[in-house]
Amino acid sequence: MMRGFYNKKIADCFFGSDMRIDLHMHSNVSDGSLSPSALVQLVHDNGVELMALTDHDTMDGVHLAARTAESLGVGFIPGVEVSTGWGGRVIHIVGLGMDPESAGVDAFFRDVCVKRDVRGRRIGERFDAIGIHGAYEGALSLADNKDNLSRTHFAHWLLQNGHVSNYQEAFDRYLKTGRPCCVDVEWPGLREVIGLIHDAGGMAVIAHPGRYSFSEDWMLDELFKAFWDMGGEAIEVCSGSQSRDADEKLAGVARQMGFLASSGSDWHSVRGTRPAPGTQPQIPDDLTPVWRFLSWR
171 binds, among ligand AMP, Mn ion, none (CB under 5 to 8 A by kind): ligand AMP
CA distance 46 to 277: 7
Specify the amino acid at residue 190. L
- Phi and psi of 75, rounded to 5°? -65, 135
58 binds ligand AMP (CB under 6 A): no
Q: Which long-range CB contacts under 8 A does 250-254 form with residues at least 24 apart?
A: 250/209, 250/210, 251/284, 251/287, 253/209, 253/224, 254/287
Binding span for ligand AMP by CB under 6 A among 35-43, 66-74, 144-152, 195-203 = 144-152
- The DSSP letter of residue 145 is S
The contact set with Mn ion (CB under 5 A) reads 31, 81, 92, 207, 266
151 binds ligand AMP (CB under 6 A): yes
Contacts of 246 (CB under 8 A, 6+ apart): 209, 210, 211, 239
Alpha-carbon torsion, ordered 165, 167, 169, 171, to 10 deg: 150
156 binds, among ligand AMP, Mn ion, none (CB under 5 to 8 A by kind): none
Per-residue contact track with ligand AMP, 172 to 191, x per CB under 6 A? ----x---------------
What is the DSSP secondary-structure string of 89-131? EEEEEEEES--TTSTTHHHHHHHHHHHHHHHHHHHHHHHHHTT
Per-residue contact track with ligand AMP, 5 to 44, x per CB under 6 A? --------------------------x-------------
| Residues 75-104 within binding reach of ligand AMP (CB under 6 A) | 83
Question: How many amino acids of this chain bind ligand AMP (CB under 6 A)?
Answer: 10
Cβ proximity to ligand AMP, 272 vs 289, nearer residue: 272
Cβ proximity to ligand AMP, 19 vs 159, nearer residue: 159
Radius of gyration of the chain (CA): 18
In angstroms, give the least distance from the CB of 223 to ligand AMP. 18
56 binds ligand AMP (CB under 6 A): yes
249 binds, among ligand AMP, Mn ion, none (CB under 5 to 8 A by kind): none
CA distance 5 to 19: 21
Residue 98, phi-psi category: left (phi > 0), alpha (psi -120 to 50), beta (remainder): beta
What are the residues binding ligand AMP (CB under 6 A)?
A: 31, 56, 83, 150-152, 168, 171, 176, 268
